[in-house]
Amino acid sequence: VQLQAFGGGLVQAGGSLRLSCTASGFTFSTGAMGWFRQAPGKEREFVAVRSWRGSTIYYAESVKGRFTISRDNAKNILYLQMNSLAPEDTAIYYCVAERGSIPTGWSSPRVYDYWGQGTQVTVSS
Q: Is pLDDT at 28 greater than 70 in this prediction? A: no
Q: Vertex 34, ends 33 and 35: CA angle to 5°?
A: 150
Q: What is the pLDDT of residue 76?
A: 84
SS3 call for 30: helix
**Within its chain, how far is the Cα of 94 from the centroid?**
6
Q: What is the pLDDT of residue 21?
A: 95
Q: What is the percent of the chain with per-residue pLDDT over 90, rounded to a whole number? A: 80
**Are 48 and 80 a contacting pair, CB within 8 Å?**
yes
Identify the band that residue 93 occupies on the pLDDT scale cut at 50, 70 and 90.
Answer: very high
